[in-house]
Amino acid sequence: MPHTAIFATPFNSLQLSRRPHRERETLQAWDAADEYLLHHIAELNIADDSRLLIVNDSQGALSTALSAYNCTLWADSAISALSTTENCTRNGVRPPVFMPATDQPEGRFDYILYKLPKSRSLLQYQLQHLASLVLQPEQFIAAAMARHIDHHVVAAFAKNHAPARPSLARKKARLIQLQAAPQDIAINDDTKVITLTEFDLTLHNRANVFSRDKLDIGSRLMLRAMDKLAAPSHIADLACGNGLLGIYAGRKWPQARLHFFDDSFLALDSARKNCQANLAQVSQIDTDDLSFSADDCLSNYQGAAFDLILCNPPFHQDHHVGDHIAQTMFRDCQKHLADNGRLCVVGNRHLGYHVTLKKLFGRCDVIESDSKFVVLLAYR
């Protein structure tokens, strides 16, 4: 059973949980910025039939508290969608309409409630796409913990949306309110294209994709390690990002089936485009047969077991740094690996992934390393 905690709001008292689920949860499903935003909305005494666009509600605290209104949730996170639905169901309220970040919100919204994302590229992308929906400055209310609001954030609002000013702090949280309605904001292409000449790959990376400007050191080491692996028949690229590891595997083992998983819808869109660009010329691969799933790790996967899972796991969730997502991924991999299947993981040395992997799988070998990273191979 997921760990739950009571969130007392001006609208209701809620029982909320976080994803990924873990037995000894140390984090809440809300923060002081959620509280500040909800108290502000309560003070406005908005009409019962108000239409609200809620953006980046990471665990569904806002959507659950405001369920009496007509809510749409726009986010780049499968965890956000799953956790919101779960928390609304637990509290017996109607979940919002969910819209992935790859889609564009349309129509009239009475209020747009915006939780600042960690990613600056996602901030720019969302501010530009939201600008046309804001007719009056009071319609748009942003919130974040005070330590995450700096001059770069204020400048991003001025450039991509409208001039804005942070409020006074309350419990170390601030609101950001517009000083004017957005005017003539251009929507730029959020894609960055990088060419990896040494691997003969061109990658299209959308907003919010990990290491969208360059090939990260861990992935480079992982590619080198993959040349040491025996041929698999069914491969998962877990936390796939732009799809690099799966694409490299597809070129190396073109007869294998490929399935890409990520929390980010923009990352999966990038992976899909990159597969078309880099695998379409491989005669044994039909890119229409590749699979792409937005998921909380592998929590909703019900297909055939994998004989190889490739994983460069994230070490943070929003602004929370830790290995809890990686640990959940490893447990999910243990459930979905075939007999004699292998999990290949890259991570910083100091994270000590080998300890968990040995407990779960019994055997875990270092197959590649440098001064900072290790590539581990765990056997089912």
pLDDT number for residue 27: 87
Domain parsing of the chain, residue ranges: 4-178, 192-379
Q: Provide the residue-wise pLDDT of the chain in tens; the chain has 380 residues.
A: 678 999 999 999 999 999 988 777 778 999 999 999 999 999 999 999 999 999 999 999 999 999 999 999 999 999 999 999 999 999 999 999 999 999 999 999 999 999 999 999 999 999 999 999 999 999 999 999 999 999 999 999 999 999 999 999 999 999 999 999 999 999 999 999 999 999 999 999 999 999 899 999 999 999 999 999 999 999 999 999 999 999 999 999 999 999 999 999 999 999 999 999 999 888 677 777 899 999 999 999 999 999 999 999 986 555 555 578 899 999 999 999 999 999 999 999 888 899 999 999 999 999 999 989 999 999 98
Q: What is the DSSP letter of 47?
A: -
Q: What is the reported pLDDT for 243?
A: 97
DSSP tag of 170: B
The whole-angstrom separation of Cα 139 and Cα 118 is: 23
C-beta separation of 50 from 111 below 8 A = yes
Give the pLDDT confidence score for residue 102 in this predicted structure.
98
Q: Report d(CA 256, CA 285) in Å as an integer.
A: 9
Q: Which CATH superfamily is domain 4-178 in?
A: Vaccinia Virus protein VP39 (3.40.50.150)
pLDDT tens-digit readout, 300-337: 999 999 999 999 998 655 555 557 889 999 999 999 99
Q: Where are any strands of DSSP class E within 23-172?
A: 51-55, 70-75, 97-100, 111-115, 140-145, 164-166
- Residue 247 CA to residue 128 CA, distance in Å, equals 31
Domain covering 192-379 assigned CATH 3.40.50.300 in the classification: no
pLDDT at site 349: 87
| Coil, strand or helix at 362 | coil
Sequence-separated (6 or more) residues with CB below 8 Å from residue 204: 191, 192, 193, 242, 270, 273, 274, 277
Q: In the prediction, which pLDDT does 97 show? A: 98
Query: How does strand 4-8 pair with strand 13-17?
Result: antiparallel
> pTM of the full predicted structure?
0.95
User: What is the b/e burial string over 266-275, where b = at least 16 CB atoms within 10 angstroms of the residue's CB?
Assistant: bbbbbbbbbb
Instruction: Phi first, then psi: give them for residue 149, nearest 5 degrees.
Output: -110, 110
Structure tokens at 332: 């999910």
Reported as half-sphere exposure (CB side, CA atoms, 13 A), residue 206 has a value of: 19
| Rg over CA atoms, the chain | 22
How many CB atoms neighbour CB 201 within 10 A? Answer: 19
Q: Please give the pLDDT value at position 315.
A: 67
Query: 4-178 and 192-379: same fold?
Result: yes
